[in-house]
Amino acid sequence: MLVGAGDADLGAARMQMALSLGWHIVLACLGVGMPAITLLAEWRGHRGGDVHYRLLARRWARAMGVLFAVGAVSGTILSFEMGLLWPGLMGVYGQVIGLPFALEGIAFFIEAIFLGIYLYAWDRLSPVAHMLTGIPIVLAGVASAFFVVTANAWMQQPTGFQVSGGRVVAVDPWAAMFNPATPPQTVHMILAAFMVAGFGIASVYAVAMLRGRRDRYHRLGLLLPLTVAAVITPVQIGVGDWAAHFVADNQPVKLAAMEGVFHTQRGVPLHLGGIAVDGEMRYALEIPYGLSLLAHWNPHAEVMGLDRVPFADQPPVNVVHWAFQIMVGLGFALLALSAWLAVAWIRRRDLPRSPWFLRGAAASGVAAVLALEAGWTVTEVGRQPWIVYGVLRTSAAVNPAPGLVWGFVLVTLVYAVLTVATVYVLRRLARDRPVPVAPQDPDVDDERVV
Amino acid sequence: MIMPLAEIMIAVMWAGLTAYVLFAGADFGGGVWDLLAGGSRTGQHRRALIEHSIGPVWEANHVWLIFVIVLMWTGIPGVFAAVASTLYIPLTLAALGIIARGAAFAFRKVSTELWQRRLFGAAFAFSSVATPFFLGTVAGALASGRVPAGIAKGDIVSSWVNPTSAMSGALAVGTAAYLAAAYLTRDAQRAGEDGLAEEFRHRALVCGAVVGLMSAAGLLVLRADAPRLFDALTAGRALPLLVLSIAAGLVSLVLLWRRAYRAVRLTAALAVTGLLWGWGVGQYPHLLPGVTLDEAAATDSVLAATLGSLAVGAVLLLPSLWWLYATFQRGHTEARESRPSR
Ligand code: HDD
Ligand code: HEM
Ligand code: HEM
């Protein structure tokens, strides 16, 4: 249960936040990862003179124009919602996390300016100058992901302020931004963005190849983004391990929920699968000493269980546990796909021949997005019932005004329509027909990409 | 205290708001005229001009809103919480309008079939009217002191359903439409579309007159509904700004009449700026009833870090913006010259 025991408005507010964030994050990942991959293609096309790379770069740039617009408006909703839904958080702590958001604003401006130049000035700048205009987009995208995730990391490990009489005093905004959770979370998130973009683009071309379009254009469209994602995947798993150790040391209640540990003890087994019923993990595959070993590098280490905190302070175990299993499971599945590609490439300088490889690649984009959403579910639901860990409860932060449920209904409807429209428009864009090179610019529709 | 950080912060925020109203406001107004452009065939030219002139800029213009919101929760967090919680209904509606508008606009541009363009166009145009209206009601709620301090302490309906809010909502739509019409005359002229320039000149004149009358009526509403602000505007320190606004508004009408489209851009913007800063100055130092800026402001460490970062950011941003415009001013003529050869 996501909603927990609170009243209907609190539940609605949480669902609304989860929906809008979960939606925005997918576009944000593409906004962070796609410019780099597009630039890579453009550079290869320039260096090697292979026209297919250049065509791919143009096509991806066109999609980026639409994605950026939708990402921008969905992000705007979020900044409204921070206040509409969580005034108890923002009214007191808004100033503590304001700095990274202000820095993010600068990054957005840079991104918007250079995206404008990159998309519109393709034929007006020399190839090298054009590629150089892409670099600020990449940097600003990564920077904005970094800044916003520091704000989330602060909610996990709040530092840099003192509270006195209901007001924060002695705020050190830099200490709040560089809180202990910032390094593992930001690195893990930025790598996730590149995985989502890499596997996501690759899966479009894998589907096309499964339908028989195996020309060089489609092969390269698969190979380049897939290679990027495949190189990052093993690193990401290492960083995930870092994140898990961090949680084990600093948010033991979250770890207990992730692993379904109800009783504090030594030599705790690792639970694979299973359902939590009445304070017990049932039907799980147990690996003896597994968790003690993984979390603390010692088979006899003590792991804190949920019995150490009152029931009112426990996050919902099944959601967190399953979300964690899904993320890790998908992470290893993507690692297997990456390894397959690596082996075939080292042996024969070619893609694996099996159609199962293409099927796997076709599914990899969805898998990466699911891993991303699952990871955020672990982080955010595992933090419950706190909105600022150990400092402020979610129920104390929510807007007490009546009728939030209706807002949630309305927002859900709008997002449903928006999803359908976005997918529809992107699918149209992917077809082979002349479309504007710069999507905002209707008068360049005679510059076709074929 | 060495530097009045809170005052600097609120001035920077108000400057951001002004930029948002002038730039994004005109983009919204473009949507209003898109709505009124006529049938698919007859309105085609007008819509193309509107699309062309707001296409490259609306995203950058839109960032000003985010800038204002973020500065608000960083600089005056308690006020942000009070406003957002009491006024969550109009703010939710405005937020949905923003999303519908931006997405529909981007989608319409890449659509080719008529039914799609109509559908996305309708969503874009409709939300271009609704969004400034709801944002205007929020301004009215603040100006008439209907948002008390504290979380959700105001009435969630009457705080924004009242004479001042209705007036400022309508004024927001009217101002957006007026700014857009005034700017579009020049765009049309530069594109060599003299017929369209005449049309928009006509619209701007009518719209400007209507907005002027609305503002006059608005003052009467303020007198009855928000006497403090009314006094500051008509007899207090905000009076010069009100005079500036009225004068610039009248000059704009004359300039439009005489087809001085370039100069109109400046005076129309001045008229709107005068109104906004008149409101700000008239209300200062009170942000909410009984809450002054100094009571509401964040701690100095936060203000210093944020303002310092923004200053450094501006050093990066200004040359980038300059390069953006320079690239396209140059590129524009080249693209035009090469066009007939295709
Ligand atoms: C492509 C996406 C992806 C993949 C393959 C993985 N993760 Fe992940 N994970 C994320 C995407 C993600 C994320 C969505 O980006 C999260 C949410 C918050 C964050 O900082 O990263 C996250 C959070 C997250 C957390 C919670 C951090 C916190 O609450 O502070 C842990 C413990 C892990 N991950 C561990 C792992 C492990 C051990 C993986 C090994 C397979 C793994 N992740 C693969
Ligand atoms: C980095 C910026 C982020 C910030 C500042 C942030 C902030 C918040 C806030 C304020 C809430 C509501 C209070 C609560 O329920 O604890 C929340 C809930 C939630 N967020 Fe995040 N979030 C961020 C990223 C994300 C992302 C990218 C996702 C993607 C899926 C996500 C998933 C969720 C979920 C599922 C909840 C609901 C938790 C529950 O109700 O149990 N968050 N987040
Ligand atoms: C509470 C959480 C969040 C808020 C309030 C927020 C806010 C925003 C806003 C206002 C925009 C629009 C900027 C524009 O007009 O260009 C935006 C876009 C963006 N956001 Fe978020 N965001 C949140 C979470 C995230 C997260 C978790 C990421 C992590 C990667 C992220 C990355 C981005 C990026 C890259 C863009 C640029 C749009 C694009 O390229 O598609 N945001 N966000």
Tell me the chain B residues in contact with residue A66 when contact means C-beta distances shorter than 8 Å. Answer: 106-107, 110
What confidence score (pLDDT) does residue B113 get?
Answer: 74
**Is there a domain that residue B100 lies in?**
yes
pLDDT digits (tens, 9 = 90+) for A24-61: 999 999 999 999 999 999 998 888 878 888 888 888 98
- For the ranges A158-162, A243-247, A334-338, B200-204, the one whose mean pLDDT is highest: A334-338
Closest CA to B10 of B289, B280, B338: B280
For A448, the closest chain B residue by CA position comes to B342
CB-based contact A274:A285 (threshold 8 Å): yes
Q: Which of A34-43, A182-191, A398-407 has the lowest mean pLDDT?
A: A398-407
Tell me the chain B residues in contact with residue A74 when contact means C-beta distances shorter than 8 Å. Answer: 99
Q: Which secondary structure element, helix H or strand E, spans residue A302, and what is its range?
A: strand A302-303
Tell me the chain B residues in contact with residue A110 when contact means C-beta distances shorter than 8 Å. Answer: 316-317, 320
Closest CA to A360 of A238, A179, A256, A233: A233
Distance B115 CA to ligand 1 centre (A): 43
- Confidence grade of residue A449 (pLDDT, cut at 50, 70, 90): very low
Q: Enter the pTM of the model.
A: 0.89
Strand A275-277 with A280-282, pairing = antiparallel
What confidence score (pLDDT) does residue A202 get?
Answer: 95
Q: What is the mean pLDDT of chain B?
A: 83
- Hey, what amino acid is at B138? V
Return the axis-axis angle of helices A98-120 and A8-48, rounded to nearest 10°: 40
Average pLDDT over residues A112-131: 83
Say which of B81, B302, B317 has its CB closest to residue A90. Answer: B81
* A66–B106 CB contact, under 8 Å: yes
B27 vs A80, residue with greater confidence: A80
Q: Which secondary structure element, helix H or strand E, spans residue A393, and what is its range?
A: strand A392-393
Among residues 270-309 of chain B, which lie with CB inside 8 Å of chain A?
Answer: 298-299, 301-302, 305-306, 309
Q: Quick check: B103 pLDDT over 70?
A: yes
**Is there a domain that residue B169 lies in?**
yes
- For the ranges A44-48, A393-397, B40-44, B301-305, the one whose mean pLDDT is highest: B301-305
For residue A440, give the DSSP letter.
T
B111's tokens = 């659509």
Neighbouring CB atoms inside 10 A of A7's CB total: 12
Among residues 47-76 of chain B, which lie with CB inside 8 Å of chain A?
Answer: 48, 51-52, 55-56, 59-60, 62-63, 65-67, 69-71, 73-75
What confidence score (pLDDT) does residue B56 get?
Answer: 63
pLDDT digits (tens, 9 = 90+) for A246-267: 998 888 889 888 888 888 888 7
Closest CA to A262 of A246, A245, A281, A247: A281
**Is there a domain that residue B182 lies in?**
yes
pLDDT digits (tens, 9 = 90+) for B146-198: 888 888 888 888 888 998 899 999 999 988 888 888 888 887 777 777 777 88
Q: Quick check: A332 pLDDT over 80?
A: yes
Domain that holds residue B199: 5-301
A214's tokens = 């195996």
- Hey, what amino acid is at B3? M
> Is ligand 3 within 6 A of the CB of residue A269?
no
Q: What is the largest CA-CA distance in chain A?
A: 70
Distance A28 CA to ligand 3 centre (A): 6
**Is there a domain that residue B160 lies in?**
yes
- Confidence grade of residue B329 (pLDDT, cut at 50, 70, 90): low
For B300, the closest chain A residue by CA position comes to A171
CATH label of the domain that carries residue B143 = 1.20.1630
The reply to whether B96 touches chain A by the CB within 8 Å rule is yes
Closest CA to B279 of B120, B97, B102, B139: B139
* A101–B70 CB contact, under 8 Å: yes
* A76–B98 CB contact, under 8 Å: yes
The reply to whether A121 touches chain B by the CB within 8 Å rule is yes
* A113–B60 CB contact, under 8 Å: yes
Nearest residue (CA) to ligand 2, atom 1 = A149
What confidence score (pLDDT) does residue B183 get?
Answer: 83
Q: Which of A210-219, B257-266, B303-312 has the lowest mean pLDDT?
A: B257-266
Q: How far are the Cα atoms of A217, B136, B146, B169, B286 from residue B279, in angstroms, in the given order? A: 59, 13, 15, 15, 11
The reply to whether B98 touches chain A by the CB within 8 Å rule is yes
* B77–A77 CB contact, under 8 Å: no
For B76, the closest chain A residue by CA position comes to A95
Those residues with Cβ within 8 angstroms of residue A74's Cβ, 6 or more apart along the chain or in another chain: A20, A23, A24, A27, A418, B99
What confidence score (pLDDT) does residue A289 get?
Answer: 78
The values of phi and psi at residue A145, to 5°, are -60, -45
What confidence score (pLDDT) does residue B335 get?
Answer: 40
- Confidence grade of residue A448 (pLDDT, cut at 50, 70, 90): very low
Among residues 142-171 of chain B, which lie with CB inside 8 Å of chain A?
Answer: 151-152, 156
Q: Quick check: A9 pLDDT over 90?
A: no
**Is there a domain that residue B115 lies in?**
yes
Q: Quick check: A293 pLDDT over 90?
A: no
**Is there a domain that residue B125 lies in?**
yes
Average pLDDT over residues A418-443: 63
* A76–B62 CB contact, under 8 Å: yes
Query: How many angstroms separate the CA atoms of B124 and B98, rounded?
Result: 9
Q: Which of A115-124, A321-330, B38-47 has the lowest mean pLDDT?
A: B38-47
Distance A380 CA to ligand 2 centre (A): 5
> Is ligand 2 within 6 A of the CB of residue A104?
no
CB-based contact A132:A35 (threshold 8 Å): no
Say which of B55, B74, B95 has its CB closest to residue A101. Answer: B74
The reply to whether A307 touches chain B by the CB within 8 Å rule is no
**Is there a domain that residue B286 lies in?**
yes
Helices (H), A157-181: 173-177
Q: Quick check: A434 pLDDT over 70?
A: no
For residue A295, give the DSSP letter.
H
Question: What b-and-e string marks burial along A81-95, b requiring 16 or more CB atoms within 10 Å of the CB?
Answer: bbbbbbbbbbbbbbb
pLDDT digits (tens, 9 = 90+) for B286-322: 888 888 888 888 888 999 999 999 999 999 888 888 8
What confidence score (pLDDT) does residue B336 get?
Answer: 38
Counting ligands in written order, the one closest to the CA of A191 is: 1
Out of A188, A228, A272, mutate this one to test ligand 1's pocket (max ligand atoms within 8 Å of CB): namely A188
The reply to whether A96 touches chain B by the CB within 8 Å rule is yes
Q: Quick check: A167 pLDDT over 90?
A: no
Ligand 2 atom nearest residue A315's Cα: 41
Contacts 24+ apart (CB under 8 A), B333-338: B334/A124, B335/A124, B335/A444
- For the ranges A274-288, A388-402, B47-61, the one whose mean pLDDT is highest: A388-402
Q: Quick check: A221 pLDDT over 50?
A: yes
Q: Quick check: A437 pLDDT over 50?
A: no
Chain center to CA of B306: 24
**Is there a domain that residue B329 lies in?**
no
Say which of A92, A170, A421 has its CB closest to residue B77. Answer: A92
Q: Quick check: A380 pLDDT over 90?
A: yes
What confidence score (pLDDT) does residue B83 get?
Answer: 92
Q: How many domains does chain B have?
A: 1
What confidence score (pLDDT) does residue A446 get?
Answer: 37
A423 exposed, middle or buried (CB, 10 Å; 0-12, 13-18, 19+)? Answer: exposed
What confidence score (pLDDT) does residue B91 get?
Answer: 93
* B301–A173 CB contact, under 8 Å: yes
A142 vs B335, residue with greater confidence: A142
Query: How many angstroms separate the CA atoms of B178 and B30, rounded?
Result: 9
